[in-house]
């Protein structure tokens, strides 16, 4: 058997868009012949799936799995909301969430290697891409452990896990719903990262300076802005959505509960979506069809 070098694997990855393990396996089966490997991948449909990988996948769903004091939130992306609601897609993401929880694994690359009913998760993903015809990607997973866990899913798009000390299921559910609605940054104000505060202070100072007021007044304005920012992004300082007259911290205290940690995932966060001009797209399609006649 010819040697499968790293440079060969790299070239095949660049030409097909497939993962390292798939490329290495294909080259081994083709005795190191890259053209044969590509032909075999095209015949199996994997190259087609790889082509889909270039498409932006900003839709999808969040799945949550819980087992005792351990839970996981998983985001899997696709290209359209229609596919996100597809039964096959739903079964895939639910199964992967359970596998990730059992393995306590959050690295998408390692999740791809887990056993999925006799094949790898990656092989199951590729098969689903071939079946559905859209790019599907496991984007991220977050593991949460705690004495008491509460979860909430807002449709397919938002998933929340809250780790509590004390309290009960009802308060946990209510706080989870609150987090889904308000998207706090941290539990307590002191948890806000220093770089985030520094950036907010810089912005506040620039805005306050434009007022033309004396330095002492500007300083007070900046302090007020930062105080408002801290209360808006800190869970315990927010007005409780179920009873806005109370802060979340006060509601938790009354229930004898404390939020240790929370995770909130929303589909497509941070992914730049492609803006589609449907009128232009239709016009272009018609122009291409006319030119082909």
- Domains in the chain: boundaries: 6-51, 55-145
256 compared with 23, residue with greater pLDDT: 256
pLDDT at 58: 80
The arithmetic mean of pLDDT across residues 65-71, rounded, is 96
Q: What are the phi and psi torsion angles at 284 (to 5°)? A: -65, -40
The per-residue pLDDT of the chain, averaged, comes to 87
pLDDT at 171: 95
Confirm or reject CATH 3.30.499.10 for domain 6-51, answering yes or no. Answer: no
The arithmetic mean of pLDDT across residues 245-266, rounded, is 96
Q: Which of 32-36, 72-76, 161-165, 174-178 has the lowest mean pLDDT?
A: 32-36
d(CA 217, CA 212): 10
Q: Is the pLDDT of residue 228 over 90?
A: yes
* Report for 76-80, 84-88, 98-102, 229-233: range of highest mean pLDDT: 98-102
Q: Is the pLDDT of residue 53 over 70?
A: no
d(CA 258, CA 266): 24
* Report for 36-45, 67-76, 219-228: range of highest mean pLDDT: 67-76
- Percent of the chain past pLDDT 70, that is, above it, reads 85
pLDDT at 46: 63
Q: Is the pLDDT of residue 120 over 90?
A: yes
Q: Is the pLDDT of residue 91 over 90?
A: yes
How many CB atoms are closer than 10 A to CB 286? 10
pLDDT digits (tens, 9 = 90+) for 5-41: 888 888 887 677 677 787 888 899 988 888 888 778 7
Q: Which of 94-103, 212-221, 222-231 has the lowest mean pLDDT?
A: 212-221
Confirm or reject CATH 3.40.50.300 for domain 55-145, answering yes or no. Answer: no
pTM of this prediction exceeds 0.95: no
Q: Is the pLDDT of residue 213 over 90?
A: no
282 compared with 195, residue with greater pLDDT: 195
pLDDT at 169: 85
């Amino acid at each position: 058997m010819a040697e499968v070098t790293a440079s060969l694997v790299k070239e095949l990855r660049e030409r097909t868009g497939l993962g390292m393990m798939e490329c290495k396996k294909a080259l081994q089966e083709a005795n190191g012949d890259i053209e044969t490997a590509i032909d075999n991948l095209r015949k199996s449909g994997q190259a087609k799936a790889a082509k889909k990988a270039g498409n932006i996948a900003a839709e999808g769903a969040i799945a949550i799995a819980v087992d005792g004091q351990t839970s996981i939130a998983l985001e899997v992306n696709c290209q359209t909301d229609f596919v996100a609601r597809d039964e096959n897609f739903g079964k895939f993401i639910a199964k992967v969430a359970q596998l990730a929880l059992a393995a306590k694994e959050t690295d998408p690359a390692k999740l791809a290697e887990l056993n999925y009913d006799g094949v790898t998760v990656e092989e199951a993903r590729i098969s689903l891409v071939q079946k559905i015809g859209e790019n599907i990607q496991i984007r991220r997973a977050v593991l949460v452990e705690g004495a008491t866990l509460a979860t909430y899913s807002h449709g397919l798009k938002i998933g929340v896990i809250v780790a509590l000390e004390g309290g009960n299921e009802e308060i946990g559910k209510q706080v989870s719903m609150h987090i889904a609605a308000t998207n706090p940054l941290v539990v307590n104000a002191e948890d806000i990262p220093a770089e985030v505060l520094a950036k907010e202070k810089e912005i506040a100072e620039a805005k306050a300076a434009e007022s033309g007021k004396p330095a002492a007044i500007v300083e007070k304005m900046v302090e007020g802005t930062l105080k408002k920012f801290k209360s808006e992004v800190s869970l315990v300082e927010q007005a409780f959505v179920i009873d806005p007259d109370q802060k979340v911290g006060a509601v938790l205290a009354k229930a004898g509960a404390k939020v240790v940690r929370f995770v909130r995932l929303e589909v497509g966060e941070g992914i730049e979506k492609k803006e589609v001009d449907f009128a232009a797209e239709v016009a272009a399609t018609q122009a291409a069809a006319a030119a082909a006649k």
